[in-house]
Amino acid sequence: KAKKKAREGCSLPDSSWEERLADAVTPLWRLPYQEQLQVKYESQRKILQTLASRLEELGIDAQKPGGLCCPLQPVVPSPIINGYRNKSTFSVNRGPDGNPKTVGLYVGTGKARNIVCVKAHHTKNIPPKHKQVAQCYEEFICSSPLDSCILFHEGGHWRELVVRTTSRGHTMAIITFHPQELGQDALATQKALLKEFFTCGPGTVCALTSLYFQESTMTRCSHEQSPYQLLHGEPHIFEELLGLKFRISPDAFFQVNTAGAEVLYRAVGELCQATGDTVLLDICCGTGTIGLSLAHQVSKVIGVEVVEKAIEDAKWNAAFNGISNCEFHSGKAEAVLPQLLASWENARPLVAVVNPSRAGLHYRVVRAIRNCQSIRRLLYISCKPEGEAMRNFLELCCPPDPRKKLTGEPFAPVLAIPFDMFPHTVHCELVLLFTR
């Protein structure tokens, strides 16, 4: 309720804008951490109860003690509670004082037409370095004669800022710019001014490792649609995780809580029950973090990822860390995976780990997994199990259906473990183990 009120811009009457933002972005921030974990446990319990009910509707006896579809372990806490985010996205819009070049996060909704952009100074999950870069970016665009781009059709240029940091002290800033009708000379001028600000001017306090610039006429734009242009520094930043070194590109996926990711991946390694003969299928592999961290346990890792730059990073990461038993495939999982598995006749056991976005897995991916008899064990990692992932769970567990070309033996959920990757928010990363 607090989150909904804050999102709609109607927190307590005497709340400051900073408190309203905190209520919108981190609705559990007022609770002691142990109480936050209990709130999350209860929400995950309800999700598993819902899954059990949905499976019952399909004629599957899935009711376990407490009405759950499988045992639920306590929420695994995050090693770091405050300032844990290694990636933050800041918007540019009107602030509470009317400044159209405020850099921060949103309170309110487009539907209610009450959006206000509030500085993230007091938001607990964002580290000080990210807030510093956001403040410097605001200082720069406020001194610029060019307007901010609040609505594409109304003109303006300066748009969002993404900040990525690592435990090695690296900082990457990615600035999105709407070119509108500007020519190449004018664009070159703006890029030069931006670079000067962060390398010779007030922005030097940020000590950026990488400064990127992207011209974008869309809300979200991939590197393939509009290349990230390196204005200053190194093309990549680097992170260490479970003793391995990982290269990170501007748009590559990397778990937002690095310390939490180490805890998560260790648990995934144990749940895989991999032996020296096991082949690990890492679907939605990003920069290869899961597969590479488990490569020493298995005979081979096969990774699939839609972001081409992330696959380049994964291949570099494997080579740099001296890992030779991994292969990575770029493309949509629904296009790549059926081809990989259609001819799979390997006698070695195959374990699948899937870590999709909130949109879940494409139906053709689920179908390929179901119809590959070699996959007996599946780990589904979801940051929103109550959303599209729920559809995937039902598709994995439903009886065979020739009409939908689901001919493989169904899976069954056997264990659920929530990981608190996002302290102060209502979200969890749920690991659901399926076997057949």
Q: Residues at the annotated binding site for S-adenosyl-L-methionine?
A: 255, 305, 355
Q: Which of 117, 206, 383, 428 is catalytic?
A: 383
Diameter of the chain measured on Cα atoms: 68
Exposed / middle / buried, residue 276 (Cβ in 10 Å: 0-12, 13-18, 19+): exposed
Which ranges of 99-183 does DSSP label H, i.e. alpha helix? 128-143
Q: Which of 242, 334, 243, 251 is nearest to 287 (CA)?
A: 251
Is residue 10 flagged as an active site residue? no
Q: Which residues are documented as binding site?
A: 255, 305, 355
Q: Which of 129, 138, 113, 117 is nearest to 165 (CA)?
A: 129
Q: Is there a contact between 86 and 258 (Cβ–Cβ < 8 Å)?
A: yes
Within a 13 Å sphere around the CA of 376, how many CA atoms are in the beta-carbon half? 8
DSSP codes, 292-343: HHHGGGSSEEEEEES-HHHHHHHHHHHHHTT--SEEEEES-HHHHHHHHHHT
Q: Is there a contact between 395 and 369 (Cβ–Cβ < 8 Å)?
A: no
Sort strands 116-118 and 158-165 into parallel, antiparallel or unpaired: unpaired
**Residues known to be catalytic:** 383
